[in-house]
Chains A and B, each alone.
Chain A
Amino acid sequence: MRVTHWITVVCFVALLVTGAEIVVSHPRFYWGETGNSGTPVLFKIPIPSSRATVPSGYNYVMPDQNGWSRYLHFEAAWALVLTGLLYALWGLRTGHFRSNLFPAPGDRTPNAFLKIILGHLRFKRPSASEALTYNALQRVSYLGVIFLLFPLVILTGLALSPGFNAAFPIVVDTFGGRQSARTLHFFISIALLGFLFIHVAMIILAGFRSRLRPMITGTVKLPQERV
């Protein structure tokens, strides 16, 4: 099931790049149901746009990349959703979430989290045995990404589809309207991007080769401890 991780990586990068391309065609964000170049913004990204009608403050119009970006965005979204479903089914069936991702009973206290955070702040390296399992902070982050951020980014994305909204208006209405859903979709993507940065940074800090090997092959080579 490691393959689901790497399919997700490919899809996520495709979604990020194409998502950014699509934002360039209208780098303004709103709250509520409607918003356009004639209405006040919630905030805007200070970049030139790929549309001349957007008051970006620049005299430069970026090239339009929306056609292929949109095709690829939705294709990657399908691949990610189908892969995610497969992973979720596997995780529930094998007890992966229960045994590897839910924090162990003794670790569910604020003190346990504080200890881990302090350990990080002191740049304390985990011992070889600690490094074999995820600590409680890792577990909570992974669970948050899998069961909160990904479902939310999918739902806010679906809430931008006029066809989906016709069939299930409750989703877009729950997010507070179409433009709110678009703004939330953007922020959740930023949160996922933040997770990606920290995740990769941690792997590099922990030893890029030794951590990447098990992510690909599934086998852990234990370091020889000096006697």
Chain B
Amino acid sequence: MISRRKFITGGLVATAGIAGVAAAGSVAKRYGLIPPDCGGIYGPGETLTYAAQRIITHNADAREFPRSMISKVPFANELAPPRDDFKRLQAGGFADWKLTVEGMVSHPTSFSVSDLKTLPRRSQITEVVCEEGWSYVAEWIGAPLFEVLNAVGYLPQARYVAYFSIEPDWWESIDMADALHPQTLVTYAMNDSDLPVPFGGPLRLRVPRQLGYKSVKFITRLTVTDSMKKFGKGLGSASPEAGYAWYGGI
């Protein structure tokens, strides 16, 4: 039997709990701890993961490895056969490949691969981690995304950077914590060569603090925005539309 005292205590605890969750929710929203795919039955778990990681990872760097640990056998994963527009650009050695940066920026700009090579260059040896379980280590070379964003003058109200592949329906977004992170690279080279096509060449956005699916291949467009609501179904990227989490830091 539940005693009256237990009942009252239980009621108070439950009320405090609900009030606590509501207060935590509004604080979390203010500090950008709510992911775009926070709705539905998996929303609470996803929000806890994203909020907890945003608090603990903050400025942490993804692990970097010594050169001796670069995988002899990197794994490129499956790709759809290239479309005609890709093949045409590939035939021209990607000289006409353009990365358009637009949205909440002072000077929208289209960068060619050689334009990006004039920006400060960074290389890092990090692991590509697939959600399926496999992984490999490679050296990734490119322009840090924050250098690209600084070059176009991103506006202070920016909260996300969305990025799009030349392949249809392949797009992702990251928050500014990852977009401005020094390891997030607009990658144009891998190990000892230009970025090979199976690994996303000519341009791939590498986000080493998140799972491989956040590192979109063949990027042609970056959009700086304050909200993901207007993009696709408003869940933040193509992944949640296919049933996968938007935040890939797990």
Contact = CB atoms under 8 A, between A and B. Distances in A.
A179 to B, nearest CB: 7
Given A71-B45, A162-B249, A52 B78 contact: yes
Nearest to B137: A34
A192 to B, nearest CB: 19
Interface stretch (B58-66, B90-98, B100-108, B153-161): B58-66
B48 A78 contact: yes
B250 A163 contact: yes
B46 A66 contact: no
Interface string A146-167: 0000000000000011111111
Interface stretch (B49-57, B116-124, B142-150, B162-170): B49-57
Contact of A36 (B136, B211, B248): B136
Nearest to B129: A162
A141 interface: no
Contacts of B136: 34, 36
B48 to A, nearest CB: 5
A109 interface: no
B38 to A, nearest CB: 12
Interface size class of B (residues with CB under 8 A): 35 or more
B20 interface: no
Contacts of A34: 69, 71, 127, 135-137
Interface string A27-46: 01000011111110000000
A36 B73 contact: yes
A23 interface: yes
Contacts of A79: 45
A62 to B, nearest CB: 12
B139 to A, nearest CB: 14
A126 interface: no
Contact of A74 (B45, B65, B208): B45
- 8 A-B pairs with least C-beta separation: A75-B45, A67-B243, A163-B249, A71-B42, A36-B134, A38-B73, A36-B75, A26-B133
Interface of A: 22-23, 25-26, 28, 33-39, 51-53, 66-68, 70-72, 74-79, 160-169, 172, 178-179, 182
